[in-house]
Protein backbone atom coordinates (compact mmCIF):
# COMPACT_ATOMS: atom_id res chain seq x y z
CA UNK A 1 0.00 0.00 0.00
CA UNK A 2 2.83 2.37 0.90
CA UNK A 3 4.60 1.64 -2.40
CA UNK A 4 1.38 2.37 -4.28
CA UNK A 5 1.03 5.74 -2.53
CA UNK A 6 4.68 6.59 -3.25
CA UNK A 7 4.21 5.67 -6.90
CA UNK A 8 1.15 7.94 -7.16
CA UNK A 9 3.03 10.80 -5.50
CA UNK A 10 5.96 10.29 -7.87
CA UNK A 11 3.66 10.27 -10.91
CA UNK A 12 1.91 13.41 -9.68
CA UNK A 13 5.21 15.19 -9.08
CA UNK A 14 6.46 14.13 -12.50
CA UNK A 15 3.26 15.38 -14.12
CA UNK A 16 3.56 18.76 -12.35
CA UNK A 17 7.21 19.12 -13.37
CA UNK A 18 6.39 18.34 -16.99
CA UNK A 19 3.54 20.84 -16.95
CA UNK A 20 5.80 23.52 -15.46
CA UNK A 21 8.44 22.75 -18.06
CA UNK A 22 5.85 23.03 -20.81
CA UNK A 23 4.68 26.38 -19.44
CA UNK A 24 8.29 27.55 -19.31
CA UNK A 25 8.83 26.50 -22.92
CA UNK A 26 5.71 28.37 -24.03
CA UNK A 27 6.06 31.54 -21.92
CA UNK A 28 9.80 31.88 -21.27
CA UNK A 29 9.73 35.32 -22.90
CA UNK A 30 7.49 36.62 -20.10
CA UNK A 31 10.11 35.80 -17.47
CA UNK A 32 12.84 37.43 -19.55
CA UNK A 33 10.67 40.50 -20.13
CA UNK A 34 9.84 40.75 -16.41
CA UNK A 35 13.55 40.54 -15.61
CA UNK A 36 14.37 43.48 -17.91
CA UNK A 37 11.35 45.42 -16.65
CA UNK A 38 12.41 44.85 -13.04
CA UNK A 39 15.94 46.03 -13.83
CA UNK A 40 14.60 49.11 -15.63
CA UNK A 41 12.29 50.03 -12.73
CA UNK A 42 15.10 49.34 -10.24
CA UNK A 43 17.56 51.77 -11.84
CA UNK A 44 14.94 54.36 -12.86
CA UNK A 45 15.23 56.51 -9.66
CA UNK A 46 19.04 56.73 -9.83
CA UNK A 47 20.19 59.92 -11.51
CA UNK A 48 23.76 58.60 -11.71
CA UNK A 49 22.66 56.05 -14.32
CA UNK A 50 22.23 57.44 -17.81
CA UNK A 51 18.76 57.80 -19.26
CA UNK A 52 19.95 55.89 -22.32
CA UNK A 53 20.58 52.78 -20.19
CA UNK A 54 17.13 53.08 -18.63
CA UNK A 55 15.38 53.43 -21.99
CA UNK A 56 17.43 50.54 -23.37
CA UNK A 57 16.19 48.21 -20.61
CA UNK A 58 12.59 49.34 -21.10
CA UNK A 59 12.89 48.65 -24.85
CA UNK A 60 14.32 45.19 -24.15
CA UNK A 61 11.35 44.48 -21.88
CA UNK A 62 8.98 45.73 -24.56
CA UNK A 63 10.32 43.51 -27.33
CA UNK A 64 10.07 40.50 -25.00
CA UNK A 65 6.34 41.09 -24.60
CA UNK A 66 5.77 41.29 -28.38
CA UNK A 67 7.15 37.91 -29.45
CA UNK A 68 4.40 35.43 -28.56
CA UNK A 69 2.80 34.99 -32.00
CA UNK A 70 6.16 34.90 -33.80
CA UNK A 71 7.90 32.14 -31.81
CA UNK A 72 9.12 29.23 -33.90
CA UNK A 73 7.93 25.90 -32.51
CA UNK A 74 9.57 23.75 -35.19
CA UNK A 75 13.12 24.37 -33.93
CA UNK A 76 15.16 22.13 -31.62
CA UNK A 77 16.20 24.09 -28.54
CA UNK A 78 19.74 22.79 -27.94
CA UNK A 79 21.00 23.19 -31.56
CA UNK A 80 19.47 26.66 -31.69
CA UNK A 81 21.14 27.72 -28.42
CA UNK A 82 24.52 26.46 -29.68
CA UNK A 83 24.18 28.33 -33.00
CA UNK A 84 22.82 31.40 -31.22
CA UNK A 85 25.78 31.46 -28.79
CA UNK A 86 28.33 31.33 -31.61
CA UNK A 87 26.35 33.93 -33.55
CA UNK A 88 26.26 36.46 -30.70
CA UNK A 89 29.92 35.92 -29.89
CA UNK A 90 30.60 37.01 -33.47
CA UNK A 91 28.27 40.01 -33.08
CA UNK A 92 29.87 41.10 -29.80
CA UNK A 93 33.32 40.75 -31.34
CA UNK A 94 32.30 43.06 -34.20
CA UNK A 95 30.70 45.49 -31.76
CA UNK A 96 33.87 45.60 -29.64
CA UNK A 97 36.46 45.85 -32.41
CA UNK A 98 34.46 47.46 -35.21
CA UNK A 99 35.09 51.05 -34.12
CA UNK A 100 38.83 50.39 -33.93
CA UNK A 101 38.79 49.07 -37.48
CA UNK A 102 36.72 52.06 -38.59
CA UNK A 103 39.20 54.44 -36.95
CA UNK A 104 42.11 52.83 -38.82
CA UNK A 105 40.22 53.22 -42.08
CA UNK A 106 39.58 56.90 -41.32
CA UNK A 107 43.24 57.57 -40.59
CA UNK A 108 44.22 55.80 -43.80
CA UNK A 109 41.56 57.72 -45.72
CA UNK A 110 42.78 61.11 -44.44
CA UNK A 111 46.27 60.40 -45.79
CA UNK A 112 44.93 59.69 -49.31
CA UNK A 113 43.98 62.12 -52.03
CA UNK A 114 40.21 62.26 -52.32
CA UNK A 115 38.97 62.13 -55.90
CA UNK A 116 35.83 64.30 -55.57
CA UNK A 117 35.23 67.04 -52.98
CA UNK A 118 31.48 67.36 -52.51
CA UNK A 119 31.52 70.07 -49.83
CA UNK A 120 31.09 73.07 -52.18
CA UNK A 121 28.64 71.21 -54.41
CA UNK A 122 26.32 70.04 -51.63
CA UNK A 123 26.39 73.35 -49.78
CA UNK A 124 25.24 75.19 -52.92
CA UNK A 125 22.13 73.04 -53.50
CA UNK A 126 18.95 74.72 -52.15
CA UNK A 127 17.35 73.02 -49.11
CA UNK A 128 20.05 70.32 -49.17
CA UNK A 129 21.15 71.41 -45.69
CA UNK A 130 17.86 70.12 -44.25
CA UNK A 131 16.91 73.49 -42.76
CA UNK A 132 13.21 72.55 -42.99
CA UNK A 133 13.84 69.95 -40.25
CA UNK A 134 14.91 72.72 -37.88
CA UNK A 135 11.97 75.12 -38.31
CA UNK A 136 11.00 74.30 -34.75
CA UNK A 137 13.73 73.59 -32.19
CA UNK A 138 13.58 73.11 -28.44
CA UNK A 139 15.80 71.79 -25.69
CA UNK A 140 13.62 68.69 -25.33
CA UNK A 141 13.74 67.89 -29.03
CA UNK A 142 17.48 68.48 -29.14
CA UNK A 143 17.99 66.17 -26.16
CA UNK A 144 15.76 63.49 -27.74
CA UNK A 145 17.42 63.58 -31.16
CA UNK A 146 20.90 63.57 -29.65
CA UNK A 147 19.96 60.47 -27.70
CA UNK A 148 18.52 58.58 -30.68
CA UNK A 149 21.39 59.61 -32.96
CA UNK A 150 24.07 58.51 -30.47
CA UNK A 151 22.35 55.11 -30.16
CA UNK A 152 21.16 54.80 -33.73
CA UNK A 153 24.18 53.15 -35.29
CA UNK A 154 24.16 49.87 -33.35
CA UNK A 155 21.11 49.71 -31.08
CA UNK A 156 18.46 49.19 -33.82
CA UNK A 157 20.37 46.15 -35.07
CA UNK A 158 20.91 44.71 -31.60
CA UNK A 159 17.23 45.12 -30.65
CA UNK A 160 16.14 43.37 -33.86
CA UNK A 161 18.65 40.56 -33.25
CA UNK A 162 17.57 40.08 -29.63
CA UNK A 163 13.94 39.79 -30.68
CA UNK A 164 14.79 37.35 -33.48
CA UNK A 165 16.72 35.23 -30.97
CA UNK A 166 13.75 35.25 -28.57
CA UNK A 167 11.47 33.87 -31.28
CA UNK A 168 14.19 31.34 -32.24
CA UNK A 169 14.29 32.45 -35.86
CA UNK A 170 17.81 31.98 -37.19
CA UNK A 171 16.88 33.18 -40.67
CA UNK A 172 15.67 36.53 -39.34
CA UNK A 173 18.84 36.89 -37.31
CA UNK A 174 20.93 36.35 -40.44
CA UNK A 175 18.76 38.68 -42.51
CA UNK A 176 19.00 41.54 -40.00
CA UNK A 177 22.77 41.05 -39.66
CA UNK A 178 23.48 40.89 -43.38
CA UNK A 179 21.25 43.90 -44.07
CA UNK A 180 23.11 45.95 -41.47
CA UNK A 181 26.85 46.43 -41.05
CA UNK A 182 28.05 43.13 -42.52
CA UNK A 183 27.08 43.93 -46.12
CA UNK A 184 26.82 47.70 -45.85
CA UNK A 185 30.42 48.23 -44.77
CA UNK A 186 31.61 46.69 -48.04
CA UNK A 187 29.07 48.54 -50.19
CA UNK A 188 29.63 51.95 -48.60
CA UNK A 189 33.44 52.00 -48.28
CA UNK A 190 34.07 52.76 -52.01
CA UNK A 191 31.89 55.88 -51.66
CA UNK A 192 33.84 57.04 -48.61
CA UNK A 193 37.15 56.49 -50.37
CA UNK A 194 35.97 58.37 -53.47
CA UNK A 195 33.94 61.30 -52.12
CA UNK A 196 34.97 63.90 -49.57
CA UNK A 197 31.92 65.25 -47.78
CA UNK A 198 31.71 66.58 -44.24
CA UNK A 199 28.84 67.22 -41.86
CA UNK A 200 26.47 70.11 -42.50
CA UNK A 201 27.35 72.14 -39.40
CA UNK A 202 31.09 71.91 -40.12
CA UNK A 203 30.80 72.98 -43.76
CA UNK A 204 28.40 75.84 -42.99
CA UNK A 205 30.33 77.01 -39.93
CA UNK A 206 27.50 76.32 -37.48
CA UNK A 207 27.77 75.00 -33.87
CA UNK A 208 28.03 71.22 -33.56
CA UNK A 209 24.51 69.85 -33.17
CA UNK A 210 25.82 67.05 -30.96
CA UNK A 211 27.79 69.44 -28.74
CA UNK A 212 30.88 67.22 -28.87
CA UNK A 213 33.28 70.14 -28.15
CA UNK A 214 35.73 68.98 -30.79
CA UNK A 215 38.99 70.70 -31.57
CA UNK A 216 39.39 71.95 -35.14
CA UNK A 217 41.74 69.07 -35.97
CA UNK A 218 39.43 66.44 -34.43
CA UNK A 219 36.37 67.94 -36.12
CA UNK A 220 38.04 67.74 -39.53
CA UNK A 221 38.43 63.98 -39.12
CA UNK A 222 35.25 63.12 -37.19
CA UNK A 223 32.97 64.90 -39.66
CA UNK A 224 34.11 62.85 -42.67
CA UNK A 225 32.14 60.19 -44.56
CA UNK A 226 28.71 61.71 -44.98
CA UNK A 227 27.77 60.37 -48.40
CA UNK A 228 25.79 58.17 -48.11
CA UNK A 229 24.55 58.44 -44.52
CA UNK A 230 25.27 55.12 -42.83
CA UNK A 231 23.07 56.05 -39.87
CA UNK A 232 20.27 56.29 -42.42
CA UNK A 233 21.18 53.13 -44.34
CA UNK A 234 21.40 51.03 -41.17
CA UNK A 235 18.15 52.32 -39.65
CA UNK A 236 16.17 52.30 -42.88
CA UNK A 237 17.23 48.70 -43.58
CA UNK A 238 16.04 47.73 -40.09
CA UNK A 239 12.82 49.66 -40.71
CA UNK A 240 12.16 47.83 -43.99
CA UNK A 241 12.69 44.46 -42.33
CA UNK A 242 10.57 45.43 -39.32
CA UNK A 243 7.67 46.08 -41.68
CA UNK A 244 7.68 42.33 -42.38
CA UNK A 245 7.06 41.52 -38.71
CA UNK A 246 3.55 40.61 -37.62
CA UNK A 247 3.37 42.34 -34.24
CA UNK A 248 1.95 45.83 -34.73
CA UNK A 249 3.26 47.21 -31.43
CA UNK A 250 6.82 46.22 -32.29
CA UNK A 251 6.52 47.57 -35.82
CA UNK A 252 5.19 50.92 -34.61
CA UNK A 253 7.65 51.56 -31.76
CA UNK A 254 10.72 50.10 -33.45
CA UNK A 255 9.82 51.81 -36.73
CA UNK A 256 9.39 55.14 -34.92
CA UNK A 257 12.83 54.73 -33.34
CA UNK A 258 14.49 53.95 -36.69
CA UNK A 259 12.84 56.87 -38.49
CA UNK A 260 13.68 59.19 -35.56
CA UNK A 261 17.36 58.37 -36.03
CA UNK A 262 17.12 59.31 -39.70
CA UNK A 263 15.33 62.58 -38.91
CA UNK A 264 17.86 63.38 -36.18
CA UNK A 265 20.65 63.53 -38.77
CA UNK A 266 18.85 66.49 -40.38
CA UNK A 267 17.75 68.15 -37.14
CA UNK A 268 21.28 68.05 -35.69
CA UNK A 269 22.86 69.25 -38.97
CA UNK A 270 24.85 66.07 -39.43
CA UNK A 271 23.80 64.90 -42.90
CA UNK A 272 22.64 66.54 -46.10
CA UNK A 273 19.30 65.66 -47.68
CA UNK A 274 21.04 63.88 -50.56
CA UNK A 275 22.97 61.81 -47.98
CA UNK A 276 19.65 60.65 -46.54
CA UNK A 277 18.22 59.73 -49.93
CA UNK A 278 21.40 57.88 -50.89
CA UNK A 279 21.38 56.06 -47.54
CA UNK A 280 17.78 54.92 -48.07
CA UNK A 281 18.62 53.63 -51.54
CA UNK A 282 21.63 51.78 -50.12
CA UNK A 283 19.41 50.26 -47.42
CA UNK A 284 16.90 49.01 -49.99
CA UNK A 285 19.66 47.49 -52.13
CA UNK A 286 21.24 45.83 -49.09
CA UNK A 287 17.94 44.28 -47.95
CA UNK A 288 17.32 42.90 -51.43
CA UNK A 289 20.90 41.62 -51.61
CA UNK A 290 20.53 39.83 -48.27
CA UNK A 291 17.26 38.29 -49.51
CA UNK A 292 19.09 37.09 -52.62
CA UNK A 293 22.01 35.61 -50.63
CA UNK A 294 19.75 33.77 -48.19
CA UNK A 295 17.59 32.47 -51.02
CA UNK A 296 20.57 31.15 -52.99
CA UNK A 297 22.28 29.56 -49.98
CA UNK A 298 19.08 27.92 -48.75
CA UNK A 299 19.71 24.75 -50.75
CA UNK A 300 23.21 24.34 -49.29
CA UNK A 301 22.01 24.35 -45.68
CA UNK A 302 18.57 22.81 -46.09
CA UNK A 303 19.59 19.18 -45.60
CA UNK A 304 21.82 19.60 -42.48
CA UNK A 305 19.26 21.98 -40.93
CA UNK A 306 16.47 19.47 -41.52
CA UNK A 307 18.52 16.81 -39.73
CA UNK A 308 20.00 18.73 -36.79
CA UNK A 309 18.00 21.94 -36.41
CA UNK A 310 14.33 21.45 -37.23
CA UNK A 311 11.91 19.11 -35.46
CA UNK A 312 10.57 16.15 -37.42
CA UNK A 313 11.14 17.78 -40.77
CA UNK A 314 11.88 15.49 -43.67
CA UNK A 315 12.56 16.57 -47.22
CA UNK A 316 9.62 15.96 -49.54
CA UNK A 317 10.39 14.95 -53.10
CA UNK A 318 7.68 15.41 -55.72
CA UNK A 319 8.13 13.86 -59.15
CA UNK A 320 7.45 16.23 -62.02
CA UNK A 321 5.41 14.16 -64.46
CA UNK A 322 6.13 16.44 -67.42
CA UNK A 323 9.86 16.51 -66.87
CA UNK A 324 9.87 12.76 -66.38
CA UNK A 325 8.02 12.08 -69.66
CA UNK A 326 10.26 14.52 -71.56
CA UNK A 327 13.37 12.65 -70.39
CA UNK A 328 11.92 9.38 -71.50
DSSP, residue by residue, 109-154: HHHSPPSEE-HHHHHTSTTTT-GGGGSS--HHHHHHHHHHHHTTTT
Task: Say how many CA atoms lie within 13 Å of 6 toward its Cβ.
Answer: 3
- Which of 212, 214, 185 shows the shortest CA–CA distance to 101? 185
Q: Is the pTM of this model over 0.95?
A: no
Per residue in 249-281, pLDDT tens?
A: 999 999 999 999 999 999 999 999 999 999 999
- Torsions phi, psi for 127 (to 5 deg): 65, 0
The predicted structure's pLDDT at residue 275: 96
The predicted structure's pLDDT at residue 52: 82
Distance of alpha carbon 176 from alpha carbon 199, whole angstroms: 28
The predicted structure's pLDDT at residue 222: 83
The angle subtended at Cα 45 by Cα 40 and Cα 49, nearest 5°, is: 70
The predicted structure's pLDDT at residue 308: 86
Distance of alpha carbon 54 from alpha carbon 51, whole angstroms: 5
- Which of 43, 191, 31, 180 shows the shortest CA–CA distance to 116? 191
Rg (CA), the chain: 25
The predicted structure's pLDDT at residue 189: 86
The predicted structure's pLDDT at residue 313: 62
Distance of alpha carbon 91 from alpha carbon 86, whole angstroms: 9
- Torsions phi, psi for 195 (to 5 deg): -110, 135
Per residue in 134-176, pLDDT tens?
A: 999 999 999 999 999 999 999 999 999 999 999 999 999 999 9
- Kindly state the percentage of the chain with pLDDT values over 90: 56
Distance of alpha carbon 160 from alpha carbon 163, whole angstroms: 5
The predicted structure's pLDDT at residue 113: 66
| Residue 195 to residues 119, 174, 282, Cα–Cα distance (Å) | 9, 30, 16
The predicted structure's pLDDT at residue 110: 62
The predicted structure's pLDDT at residue 305: 81
Residue ranges in the chain whose pLDDT is less than 50: 317-328
The predicted structure's pLDDT at residue 3: 66
Distance of alpha carbon 164 from alpha carbon 267, whole angstroms: 31
The predicted structure's pLDDT at residue 280: 97
Q: Tell me the longest C-alpha to C-alpha distance in the chain.
A: 95
Helix (H) or strand (E) holding 196: strand 195-196
Amino acid sequence: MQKLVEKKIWRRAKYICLELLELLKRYYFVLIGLFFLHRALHIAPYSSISLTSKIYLFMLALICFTVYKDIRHDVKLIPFLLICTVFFLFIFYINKHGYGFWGKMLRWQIKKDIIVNLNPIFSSIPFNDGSFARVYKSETLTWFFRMVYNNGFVLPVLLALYRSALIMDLKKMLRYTLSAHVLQIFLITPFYLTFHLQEVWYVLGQPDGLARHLSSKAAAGITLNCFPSMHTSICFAMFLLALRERNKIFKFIFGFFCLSVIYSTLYLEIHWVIDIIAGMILAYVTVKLSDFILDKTKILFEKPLNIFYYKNRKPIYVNNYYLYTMKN
